[in-house]
Amino acid sequence: MKQAHVHRYNEAACFVSGRVVDLACGWGMGTSILADVDMVDSVFGMDADLEAINFASRQCPNIAFGISDFNSPDFHVPTAVDWVVSLETIEHLEDPIQFVAKIKDAAAVGVVVSVPIEPTKSKNAFHLHDFTADQVDSWFPRWTIKADRRLMQKVGNRTIALGKLGVYLKP
């Protein structure tokens, strides 16, 4: 797992508690970070990649994992959760607004998302959308913004805000 992803999961771990779902969990390493939080009762990891889910299940046998296509209109979080964590996912989805609506409905307490806020579509064939920080906040009207972190990265001689990690509390 890249150091930047570890950092994002460590940031998310500062806010979550109770029952947590990690969407687009990949190989489960970040899910494991969330599971180690004292205030977390249970974590469920979901990803669209069966190979990744099988690997995660072998590496983290005490964590439940499942497969789901987040682009499907039938996608839903299959269990009651307090927190939804979805890091570096939304830019990959065909209908990000549909996905955000579903994760908002699923979360009893809050949502943690991270999204690139610098244009990446032209540099990454898997990114279908570019977003601004204001766009991300607009997905959560009437929700309380508990944290708004800029994910910084050094590019040449300067440091730029490449992404946004937002923590939103349900009204």
Alpha-carbon gap, residue 47 to 133, rounded angstroms: 25
User: How many Å apart are CA 58 and CA 68, to the nearest integer?
Assistant: 18
Express each pLDDT in 56-92 by its tens digit: 999 999 999 999 999 999 999 988 899 999 999 999 9
Taking only the tens place, the pLDDT of each residue in 16-63 is: 999 999 999 999 999 999 999 999 999 999 999 999 999 999 999 999
- Region label for 85, one of left (φ > 0), alpha (ψ between -120 and 50) or beta (otherwise): beta
Is residue 63 within 8 A of residue 56, CB to CB? The reply is yes
Q: Which of 45, 4, 13, 16 is nearest to 108 (CA)?
A: 16
Instruction: Give percent above pLDDT 70 in the chain.
Output: 99
Overall number of domains in the chain: 1
**Residue 23 · residue 85 · CB < 8 Å:** yes
- Given CA atoms 102, 107, 108, 111 in this order, what sign does their dihedral have? negative
Range of the domain at 126: 3-169
pLDDT of res. 97: 96
The CATH number of the domain holding residue 110 is 3.40.50.150
Task: Give yes or no for residue 1 having a pLDDT over 70.
Answer: no
